[in-house]
Amino acid sequence: MSSLTTDSEDDIGWKRCLVAGASAFGISALLLFAMLVLVDPYDSGRGWLGIDGVDDRNTYTSAASRARDPQFDAAIIGNSTAQPLNPADLSRATGLRFVQLYLTGGSPREQLAVLDFFLRHHPRVGALVFVTDPFWCQHRRAETRPGDFPYWIYGTNSFAYAARLMSREGIEHAFQRIAIGLDMRKRKRVDGFYSYEDVWLPGSFRDLNPPRDPAPALSAAERDFFPEIAELDAAVKKLPVDVPVVIAVPPTLATTVARSGTVAAQEREACDAALAKIVAGRPRSNFLNYRIDNAQTRDRVNFADFIHYRESLAGKIVSGVAESLRLGNAAKVAF
């Protein structure tokens, strides 16, 4: 566009200011963006500097780093109700190399996004363990607040990923990763295990976190329809037939287990049946239901709150999962 005005000397000075401001903005934005692309703040596998790992407690953003780690061939997927399962114990018991990919408060859809990311980065999968809390049993897809979970980290669109890098969080993570690369900072535990008993000390029970059991189905047809489980089923069907899959329903305090004959119990049975169907016929696979009323689930010592069980139960679940990965549904699971 041709100049529409006669520039005075003063205007020339102010135009230089505009150019200086715009240039500083543009150049610093470009340099910052280049740094972020090179460093790959979330270790999603798109970086160029070859720094391994993250120093990040936020499981939503840190799971990508672990999920693509080639030293693992098996994964535990779930939310905090999967967190107490120690992948090292499971690896020792099975000979596989397990990584913990729990997402704190993660919804089924978010867990499926992590599963998809794990599968994309592991052409050969040793085993998969899903810990399915009652959130999976909803008849209508759960609404999640937009922006809470960074799907863009786990997606396939690198442009969408790059577009989200320019954020304070992205910059903070980038500097953390640079510090890891320079050996000035340690990465978080590689297999992702972090016991919540470090925070919720043994011996204490909090009347918090009742299970997110589904609202009753509005019709008989709806009772057997679980959209999130259908997606999990589709994902498992895409796996090679020899990949063992274990689905475990985590224990909750016995007072929250539905009484036989109630609508809630019927709902639970329908959900369990749908989950069991996913692994039916698959070799070395099993469906394990730990949400039962027994002496252990009645004892509050075994729980931090209604849904978060302690190591005493986690050890038994690990044994049950390991036994299932060996013998499939013929496994004798003690609980």
Partner 1 sequence: MLFNDYPFLLGFLPAAILIYRFADPHPSWRIPVLVLLSAVFYAWWNPPFVALLVLSIAFNWLAALAYLRTKRASIITIAILVNLAVLAGFKYTNFISANIGLLLDRPMPQFDITLPLGISFFTFHHIMYLVDLRRGKAPSYPLGHYALYISFFPQALAGPLVRWSEVMSQFGRKVYQPGWPRDFCIGICFIAIGLFEKTFLADRIGRIIDPIYAQAAQGPLSNGDAWLALSFSFQILFDFSGYSDIAIGLGLLFGIRLPFNFNAPMRATNIQDFWQRWHITLMNFLRDYLFQPMVNTRLRFLPRRLFAVQYFGALLLTMVLCGLWHGASWTFVLWGAIHGSALVVCSLWRRYGPRLPALIGWALTVMLVIVTGVIFRAGTLEAAWNIFSGLDVAPRLERGRHLGPLFIVPLVAFLLPSSQDIIARLARKPRPWLAAMLGIGILVLLIELGEQHAYEFAYYRF
- Give the residues lining the site for partner 1 (CB under 8 A): 1, 4-8, 10-11, 13-26, 28-29, 32, 147, 166-169, 171
Answer positive or negative: Cα dihedral of 308, 311, 313, 316: positive
**Is the separation of the CB atoms in 109 and 83 below 8 Å?**
no
DSSP states of 104-151 as a string? TT--HHHHHHHHHHHHHH-SS--EEEEE--GGGG-SSPPP--TTSS-H
Report, in Å, the least distance between residue 22 CB and partner 1.
6
Task: List, edge to edge, every strand of the sheet that includes 245-249.
Answer: 98-100, 74-77, 127-131, 245-249, 286-289
Report, in Å, the least distance between residue 36 CB and partner 1.
11
Gap between the Cα atoms of 35 and 48, Å rounded: 10
Report, in Å, the least distance between residue 162 CB and partner 1.
14
Q: In terms of CB distance, is 20 or 34 closer to partner 1?
A: 20
Report, in Å, the least distance between residue 30 CB and partner 1.
10
Q: In terms of CB distance, is 32 or 190 closer to partner 1?
A: 32
- What distance separates the 2 farthest-apart alpha carbons in the chain? 90
Q: In terms of CB distance, is 22 or 208 closer to partner 1?
A: 22
Q: In terms of CB distance, is 28 or 294 closer to partner 1?
A: 28
Report, in Å, the least distance between residue 178 CB and partner 1.
17
Answer positive or negative: Cα dihedral of 223, 249, 283, 192: positive
Angle between helices 311-327 and 87-94 (to 10 degrees): 30
Report, in Å, the least distance between residue 40 CB and partner 1.
18
Gap between the Cα atoms of 218 and 142, Å rounded: 16
Q: In terms of CB distance, is 5 or 260 closer to partner 1?
A: 5
Q: In terms of CB distance, is 30 or 292 closer to partner 1?
A: 30
Query: β-strand 245-249 against 127-131: which pairing, if any?
Result: parallel
**Residue 293: what residue type?**
D
Report, in Å, the least distance between residue 54 CB and partner 1.
19
Element of type H or E holding 98: strand 98-100
Q: In terms of CB distance, is 5 or 219 closer to partner 1?
A: 5
